[in-house]
Amino acid sequence: MPYDPSAFPPFAVTVDLVVLTVRRHALCALAVRRGEPPFQGRWALPGGFVRADEDLSQAAARELAEETGLRAHDPSVPAQDNGAHLEQLATYGDPKRDPRMRVVSVAHLALAPDLPAPRAGGDASNARWAPVEELLEQGGYGRDGELAAPLAFDHAQILADGVERARSKIEYSSLATAFCPPEFTVGELRRVYEAVWAVALDPRNFHRKVTGTPGFLVPTGGTTTRQGGRPAQLFRAGGATLLNPPMLRPEV
Amino acid sequence: MPYDPSAFPPFAVTVDLVVLTVRRHALCALAVRRGEPPFQGRWALPGGFVRADEDLSQAAARELAEETGLRAHDPSVPAQDNGAHLEQLATYGDPKRDPRMRVVSVAHLALAPDLPAPRAGGDASNARWAPVEELLEQGGYGRDGELAAPLAFDHAQILADGVERARSKIEYSSLATAFCPPEFTVGELRRVYEAVWAVALDPRNFHRKVTGTPGFLVPTGGTTTRQGGRPAQLFRAGGATLLNPPMLRPEV
DNA sequence: ATCATAGTCGTCTGCCTGACGATAAACACT
DNA sequence: AGTGTTTATCGTCAGGCAGACGACTATGAT
């Protein structure tokens, strides 16, 4: 097939972001309110057009910074610091997914600690962290009594795919630490798993598992009592990225 | 950001295919020879433009049919028959990945049994099954003595990603059956694992594992001696898609 | 002082896996 | 017909890991 420029239809290419964090024992996603049609006033995932000279991951990192102030974690820099984990999720290209034109969206998944406050163009009322169940349920009422309209476009599907990716990936990788601050306790890490999987885990078995997996956690020497109770050791994420054997997700 | 049609740059969107099969105890990928510049004469992954009214998965299924004659397995149809497994792999959008224009390629991964003979536009000399190591090694010589030039564009990266996806996915899913004909023996399935992982597995432990996993294999009642030796039971792929606990890939 | 909370160390049991012996049923020879 | 080769299939045993859960420790709150 010759590459005649008139032989292929032009597409708009966007990146959409599933930004996940754990707040108040719940897995939450960043949502922004749409200012223009279509779906004006509805909640949507943050995103935007890919620029002409930009790689897809660059566009995703730029959007992430614009919406949250988070820097994406560059894998080439060992000190991951405040950087959020960012990875490509999947691409959505149904011809009718945007009523105005043909848009192909390359969705990315970002995992961040609880710290940041959302800001959409500086307007906090148009951005929020919402529990993923609240964003995914159709027609219910959210915590604020507002009718929970479904997310704009196919963003409910994208969010569901991102949540599923995160849920499965923390099984066999050390990615759960991306939800934690630079230093954290075993209990805090356990609460991340409990929030993401929406299950209760045995603290003793969890402690044995994570401290017994080489390279997963590195003790910093410090302790903290910020969770109450007996002081807990502080850890940093170790170099290991793959968990073998994996963390087992309870059946029900 | 308003959706002014002049506010976003136009992209060409293509699908590229990583089609994998197992032949002669080796994991092989489908490669086609490029007829025009750039990379004229070099081997590349099959692919093509997404049409204006086509979904991404439809485009991938169409390209797969055009290149191999394989029908993609429609998940809504339980009888998978001759259909190949097809799933989205990842999207590649480096601004310089195609020297002519801005092309975003949505790569797909297809797994097929050994049956089909390649055909690229009816010309078999421009399509072949090649062992993935041969396609991925740089500067060596292939089986036919031909200098192994690297694949065109970023297709070596795409192929490597597809192979890695296949290798990890057969660990925790029943996807290895996609490499097998509709009816197959435990030994044939084991040789699929051995080819994809490039390892040797213990036949007795493998037999215990796959026959002991509920829903993985369904006996058809028949037997075959097409592999020589004692007649082996024939099985069909069962309904289970997830393997829990997973098949463990040997360390080395 | 007592309680509540959270963290940490152990024990026990059952399941799964890896290593490997043994038997079974075909085919290819001699 | 017997022997060897190949592949399939069943069984046994030891080690590792996870789930269930008891026990103890160290802090803050009342």
DSSP secondary-structure letter at B151?
Answer: P
For residues B126-146, average pLDDT: 80
Instruction: Evaluate whether A151 touches A31 at the Cβ level (below 8 Å).
Output: yes
Q: Distance, angstroms, CA B247 to C1' D19?
A: 21
User: Is B188 near strand D, with its CB below 7 A from some atom of it?
Assistant: yes
Show Cβ contacts of residue A246 under 8 Å, excluding neighbours closer than 6 positions.
A171, A172
Tell me the chain B residues in contact with residue A9 when contact means C-beta distances shorter than 8 Å. 49-52
A79 at interface of B, judged by CB pairs closer than 8 A = no
> CA-CA distance, B68 to B153, in Å (whole number)?
22
Percent of chain B surpassing pLDDT 90 = 77
Indicate if the pLDDT at residue B188 is higher than 60: yes
Is B93 within 8 Å of A101 when comparing Cβ atoms? no
> CA-CA distance, A130 to B238, in Å (whole number)?
39
Percent of chain A surpassing pLDDT 90 = 78
- Residue B65: band (very low, low, confident or very high) from pLDDT cuts 50, 70, 90: very high
- Residue B216: band (very low, low, confident or very high) from pLDDT cuts 50, 70, 90: very high
**Residue A140 or A44, more confident:** A44
> CA-CA distance, A46 to A33, in Å (whole number)?
9
Shortest Cα–Cα distance, B131 to chain A (Å): 26
Tell me the chain B residues in contact with residue A3 when contact means C-beta distances shorter than 8 Å. 36, 100-101
- Residue B1: band (very low, low, confident or very high) from pLDDT cuts 50, 70, 90: very low
B221 at interface of A, judged by CB pairs closer than 8 A = no
- Compare all CA atoms of chain B with the CA of A89 and give the residue at the minimum distance: B90
Instruction: Tell me which amino acid residue B71 is.
Output: R
> CA-CA distance, B179 to B174, in Å (whole number)?
10
Tell me the chain A residues in contact with residue B105 when contact means C-beta distances shorter than 8 Å. none
Shortest Cα–Cα distance, A36 to chain B (Å): 7
User: Is B185 near strand D, with its CB below 7 A from some atom of it?
Assistant: yes
- Total H helices, total E strands in chain B: 5, 9
Helix A186-197 with A203-212: angle, nearest 10 deg: 110
Residues of chain A (28-57) having a beta carbon less than 7 angstroms from strand D? none
- Residue A1: band (very low, low, confident or very high) from pLDDT cuts 50, 70, 90: very low
> CA-CA distance, A98 to A10, in Å (whole number)?
14
Tell me the chain B residues in contact with residue A100 when contact means C-beta distances shorter than 8 Å. 3
- H-assigned helices in A73-222: 132-136, 155-172, 186-197, 203-212
Q: pLDDT tens, A129-156?
A: 999 999 998 765 665 666 667 999 999 9
Q: What is the pLDDT of residue A2?
A: 43
Q: What is the pLDDT of residue B3?
A: 47
Q: What is the pLDDT of residue A81?
A: 57
Q: What is the pLDDT of residue A83?
A: 76
Is B52 within 8 Å of A102 when comparing Cβ atoms? yes
Q: pLDDT tens, B70-81?
A: 888 765 555 545
Burial class of residue A55 in the structure, from the number of CB atoms within 10 Å of its CB (0-12 exposed, 13-18 middle, 19+ buried)? middle
> CA-CA distance, A214 to B251, in Å (whole number)?
16
Indicate if the pLDDT at residue A22 is higher than 80: yes
Instruction: Tell me which amino acid residue A231 is.
Output: P
- Total H helices, total E strands in chain A: 5, 9
Instruction: Tell me which amino acid residue B26 is.
Output: A
Q: Distance, angstroms, CA A225 to C1' C4?
A: 15
User: Which nucleotides in chain D lie closer than 7 A to a protein CB?
Assistant: 5-12, 17-23, 25-28
> CA-CA distance, A154 to B221, in Å (whole number)?
45
Neighbours of B62 (CB within 10 A): 16
Q: Distance, angstroms, CA A69 to C1' C16?
A: 47
Is B56 within 8 Å of A88 when comparing Cβ atoms? no
> Of A154, A156, A133, A155, which is closest to residue A143 (Cα–Cα)?
A133
For A215, the token pair is 């390279």
Q: pLDDT tens, B73-108?
A: 765 555 545 679 999 999 999 999 999 999 999 999
Q: pLDDT tens, B37-63?
A: 899 999 999 999 999 999 999 999 999
Indicate if the pLDDT at residue B197 is higher than 60: yes
